[in-house]
């Protein structure tokens, strides 16, 4: 099933994200995670692009195929393009097609100072156009950034570029994580005014340790509202309390978002079934 079809069911979509094991870990370690997540019955699970981010890493395809065909859930495979040529991307698309994966989350990918980007793709919209030009029948999703992409000159510039993704063929959008719901509502209003009408899922990441907060803020620039910062500061030396507070905060975000009519929630599970289950148990009746 194409992911866009899930949003026609008359209720918010609730989906998860997982990532492949690191290169020094066997791929089998992800399957115990999926076994646990299966019982939570998410609408779909997305799989980030290989642990190494390289063409040779086939783990994303393998995991996305297993989610669909072994565990009976819909899946979406992330696909980045900034470090790939058109021919390399085509190879990955053929793998996904052969594996029976129907959905792709098309991304530019992070630019690493240690890996010079290639010249075939500069933006996710170009990747989407390329996939469409090949005639593959994939459902295509894209990413969006409630606080603006770190490389954008302004949020308006970012939304103009987002519209290009949708015009190129993205049928559904998943947001970067955020901790201030007002930021998401402001972004959503601007996106709709710009004529972006596809379903937009809110990306929620439960914070369970201080290191995770620091890493996420440095990577994506998410702002920390006073309520969140105060809570995290209060419990930063008490790991169990911080974990409970982070889960509670994420659940509160979800309750507010769903009550305001959001299209869906995409939960960044960090491959932690226990955290996903606790949040699921708190909010499942809303879906």
Phi, psi for residue 21 in degrees, rounded to 5: -60, 155
Please list the residues that pair with 103 across neighbouring strands: 139
- Confirm if 126 and 82 have CB atoms less than 8 A apart: no
Q: How far apart are CA 156 and CA 33, in angstroms?
A: 39
Query: Which pair of tokens denotes residue 23?
Result: 């290169």
Residues acting as catalytic residues: 17
Residue with tokens 């226990």, as numbered in its chain: 274
Q: How far apart are CA 145 and CA 162, in angstroms?
A: 9
Helix (H, G, I), strand (E, B) or coil at 16: strand
Give the contacts of 63 (CB within 8 A, at least 6 positions apart). 18, 20, 27, 30, 34, 47, 75
Q: How far apart are CA 125 and CA 166, in angstroms?
A: 8
Alpha-helical (H) ranges within the chain are 3-6, 29-38, 59-69, 86-98, 124-133, 155-168, 181-193, 210-220, 226-235, 239-259, 273-283
């Amino acid at each position: 099933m194409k992911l866009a079809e899930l949003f026609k069911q008359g209720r918010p979509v609730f989906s998860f994200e997982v990532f492949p094991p690191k290169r020094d870990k066997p791929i089998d370690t992800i399957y115990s995670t999926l076994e646990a997540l299966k019982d939570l019955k998410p609408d779909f699970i997305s799989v980030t692009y290989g642990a190494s981010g390289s063409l040779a890493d086939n783990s994303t395809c393998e995991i996305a195929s297993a989610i669909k065909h072994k565990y009976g859930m819909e899946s979406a495979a992330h696909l980045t393009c900034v470090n790939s040529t058109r021919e390399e991307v085509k190879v990955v698309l053929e793998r996904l097609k052969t594996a029976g994966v129907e959905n792709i989350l098309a991304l530019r990918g992070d630019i690493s100072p240690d890996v010079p980007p290639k010249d075939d793709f500069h933006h996710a919209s170009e990747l989407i156009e390329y996939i469409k030009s090949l005639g593959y029948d994939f459902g295509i999703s894209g990413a969006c950034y409630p606080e603006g992409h770190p490389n954008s000159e302004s949020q308006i510039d970012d939304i103009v570029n987002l519209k290009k993704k949708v015009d190129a063929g993205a049928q559904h959008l998943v947001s970067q994580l955020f901790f201030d719901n007002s930021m998401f509502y402001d972004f959503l209003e601007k996106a709709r005014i710009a004529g972006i009408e596809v379903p937009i899922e809110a990306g929620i990441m439960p914070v369970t340790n201080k290191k995770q907060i620091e890493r996420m803020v440095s990577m994506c620039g998410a702002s920390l509202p006073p309520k969140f910062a105060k809570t995290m500061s209060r419990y930063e030396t008490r790991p169990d309390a911080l974990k409970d507070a982070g889960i509670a905060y994420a659940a509160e975000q979800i309750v507010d978002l769903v009550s305001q009519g959001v299209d869906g929630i995409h939960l960044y599970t960090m491959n932690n079934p226990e955290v996903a289950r606790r949040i699921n148990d708190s909010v499942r009746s809303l879906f």
